[in-house]
């Protein structure tokens, strides 16, 4: 029986070596990459005294959640903390609506210092949410990574203007990849609508938290999500209304704005030995009517459609994406070639592919459908053409089929040999 077990072990090892793919090597962090950056913005206005979360005050629940988040913070994450309504106890609204301060600067966190600063907070004044969001954006600064603001509040802004939803759209329109996530501590419909609007404008999320556990878990998730950052800031580009006037793009990441039911055109130079890969993501930053969608197409300069992109659902309701791949696989798919006056007559012109982004958005009621347009992120790459664009590296599936056939034959032979050997051994011992 020992021999049998060893033989079965050898068989399983061979099968794993033949059929299972190798484990991909670990990818090291990109040298010089910016650290994840996130700032927590806490409402410390007078309403945070209310004792309606499991018999505890809203501020005590928030303070406990903050302490646990600070203790669990990944070492590589740079964290800052800003408060609003924390210092001015008077009735002068002009003064109270300027009451927002950063109590922990964005950077590597001194945990004890941060928890001490949080412990000393007492509910005090007004609720200048819009001003606090602007301050938090300045605290996080600029750079190549996505930065996150996590706003925790129990009430709507009592100081507008500036209206916090308009501030969020203003920040999104700057193309700085600033995401605002909101957490509501009070079951109030007005508060919920305002926080949803703030989050939607920047591609963030809204969550209602009614316990310490819910608040702590959600903040930890959002802080951890800050690690999913971009390696570079997208370039701002303006698509045209037709292919002939569209900007010529090179491989990279771009950001644009598209109005409802609009078509935005871009051009990419793609040689016959290359493959175009493109994707778009549209941030759903305002309420929309149902049954909407986006479409990404590649066409020739004369309007012939080459390929249309497929949807790529991200699981998030605030982002809609699509992507495509294209390379000239036969002469009929070749696109028009462009030349410039500066080129020599003997120069070989590079074919140009046109990309068009379309949408079927419409808005309910008074929602502004045009200003600014919906945020669009466009990713372009041009690589060496694959022999089989639908199954790169597998020869349209024949290589994989051959591997599986050989694996099946070897497995069958080994299994048959082991079965015959086991039966013969069993008869001898009987």
| Residue 69 burial (C-beta neighbours within 10 Å; 0-12, 13-18, 19+) | buried
Q: Domain locations in the chain? A: 37-225, 235-339+348-384
- What's the confidence (pLDDT) of residue 232? 54
Can you tell me the mean pLDDT for 304-313? 75
CATH of 235-339+348-384, one of 2.60.120.1360, 2.30.30.100, 2.60.120.380, 3.50.50.60: 2.60.120.380
- What's the confidence (pLDDT) of residue 310? 62
pLDDT in tens, 251-303: 888 888 888 888 999 999 998 888 888 888 887 766 778 778 888 999 998 88
Q: How far, in Å, are 11, 16, 92, 275, 350 from residue 19 at the CA level?
A: 12, 5, 74, 30, 42
User: Which CATH superfamily groups domain 37-225?
Assistant: von Willebrand factor, type A domain (3.40.50.410)
Of 349 and 368, which is predicted with more confidence?
349
Q: How many CB atoms lie within 10 A of CB 346?
A: 5
Can you tell me the mean pLDDT for 225-253? 80
- What's the confidence (pLDDT) of residue 285? 67
- What's the confidence (pLDDT) of residue 105? 95
Q: How many CB atoms lie within 10 A of CB 398?
A: 11
Can you tell me the mean pLDDT for 390-409? 65
pLDDT in tens, 88-141: 999 999 999 999 999 999 999 899 999 999 999 999 999 999 999 999 999 998
Of 366 and 293, which is predicted with more confidence?
293
Give the DSSP H/E element, type plus range, for residue 134.
helix 129-140
Which of 63, 46, 61, 186 is CA-nearest to residue 123?
A: 46
- pTM of the complete model: 0.53
Q: How many CB atoms lie within 10 A of CB 119?
A: 10
Of 183 and 370, which is predicted with more confidence?
183
Q: Give helix 398-429 / helix 2-19 axis angle, nearest 10°.
A: 180
Q: How many CB atoms lie within 10 A of CB 68?
A: 18
Of the candidate ranges 67-71, 130-134, 245-249, 331-335, the one whose mean pLDDT is the lowest: 331-335
CB 267 within 8 A of CB 249: yes
Which residue matches tokens 């048959």? 416
pLDDT in tens, 149-208: 999 998 888 998 999 989 988 888 776 678 888 888 887 888 888 888 888 778 777 888
pLDDT above 80 (res 368)? no
Q: Which two tokens stand for residue 371?
A: 């200003």
- What's the confidence (pLDDT) of residue 341? 47
- Rounded to whole angstroms, the Cα distance separating 92 from 129 reads 17
Buried b (16+ CB within 10 A) or exposed e, 318-345: bebbbebbbbbeeeeeebeeeeeeeeee
pLDDT above 80 (res 313)? no
- SS3 of residue 90 by DSSP: coil
Give Cβ neighbours of residue 265 (< 8 Å, ≥ 6 apart).
Answer: 239, 240, 241, 242, 243, 245, 246, 354, 355, 356
pLDDT above 50 (res 345)? no
Q: Which two tokens stand for residue 125?
A: 């004044």
Range with top average pLDDT, 141-150, 337-346, 363-372, 382-391: 141-150
- Rounded to whole angstroms, the Cα distance separating 65 from 201 reads 26
- SS3 of residue 130 by DSSP: helix
φ/ψ (deg, to 5) at 301: -65, -25
Of 139 and 347, which is predicted with more confidence?
139
Can you tell me the mean pLDDT for 63-86? 91
- Rounded to whole angstroms, the Cα distance separating 327 from 278 reads 12
CB 243 within 8 A of CB 265: yes
Q: How many CB atoms lie within 10 A of CB 67?
A: 16
Give Cβ neighbours of residue 180 (< 8 Å, ≥ 6 apart).
Answer: 133, 148, 149, 150, 151, 168, 171, 198, 199, 201, 202, 204
pLDDT above 80 (res 316)? no
pLDDT in tens, 35-62: 888 999 999 999 999 988 888 999 999 9
pLDDT in tens, 210-235: 888 888 888 888 887 776 554 455 78
- What's the confidence (pLDDT) of residue 430? 67
């Amino acid at each position: 029986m020992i021999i049998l077990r060893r033989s079965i072990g050898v068989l399983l090892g061979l099968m794993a070596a033949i059929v299972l793919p190798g484990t991909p090597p670990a990818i090291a962090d990109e040298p010089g990459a910016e650290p994840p950056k996130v700032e927590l913005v806490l409402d410390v206005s007078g309403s945070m005294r209310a004792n309606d979360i499991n018999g505890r005050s809203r501020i005590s629940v928030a303070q406990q959640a903050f302490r646990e988040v600070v203790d669990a913070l990944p070492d590589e994450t740079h964290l800052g903390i800003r408060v609003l309504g924390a210092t001015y106890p008077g009735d002068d609204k002009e003064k109270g609506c300027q009451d927002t301060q950063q109590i922990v600067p964005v950077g590597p966190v001194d945990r004890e210092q941060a928890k001490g600063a949080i412990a000393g907070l007492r509910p005090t004044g007004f609720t200048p949410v819009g001003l606090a969001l602007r301050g938090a954006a300045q605290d996080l600064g600029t750079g190549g990574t996505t930065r996150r603001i996590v706003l925790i509040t129990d009430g709507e802004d009592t100081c507008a203007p500036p209206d916090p939803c308009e501030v969020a759209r203003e920040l999104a329109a700057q193309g700085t990849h600033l995401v605002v996530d909101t957490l509501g501590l009070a079951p109030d419909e007005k508060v919920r609508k305002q926080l949803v609007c703030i989050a939607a404008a920047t591609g963030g999320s809204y969550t209602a938290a009614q316990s310490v556990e819910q608040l702590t878990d959600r903040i930890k998730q959002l802080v951890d999500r800050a690690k999913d950052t971009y390696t570079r800031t997208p370039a701002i580009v303006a698509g045209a209304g037709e292919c002939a006037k569209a900007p010529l793009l090179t491989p990279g990441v771009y950001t644009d704005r598209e109005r409802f039911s609009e078509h935005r055109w871009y051009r990419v130079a793609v040689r016959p030995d290359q493959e175009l890969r493109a994707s778009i993501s549209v941030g759903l930053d305002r309420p929309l009517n149902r049954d909407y969608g986006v479409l990404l197409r590649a066409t020739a300069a004369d309007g012939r459609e080459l390929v249309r992109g497929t949807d790529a659902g991200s699981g998030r309701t605030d982002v809609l994406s699509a992507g495509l791949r294209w390379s000239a696989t036969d002469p009929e798919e070749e696109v028009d070639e462009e030349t410039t006056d500066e080129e020599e007559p003997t120069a070989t012109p590079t074919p140009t592919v046109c990309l068009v982004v379309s949408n079927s958005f419409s808005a309910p009621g008074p929602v502004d459908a045009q200003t600014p347009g919906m945020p669009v992120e466009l990713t372009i790459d041009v690589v060496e053409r694959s022999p089989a664009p639908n199954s790169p590296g597998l020869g349209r599936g024949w290589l994989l089929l051959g591997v599986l056939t050989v694996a099946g034959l070897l497995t069958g032979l080994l299994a048959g040999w082991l079965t015959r050997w086991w039966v013969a051994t069993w008869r001898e011992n009987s």
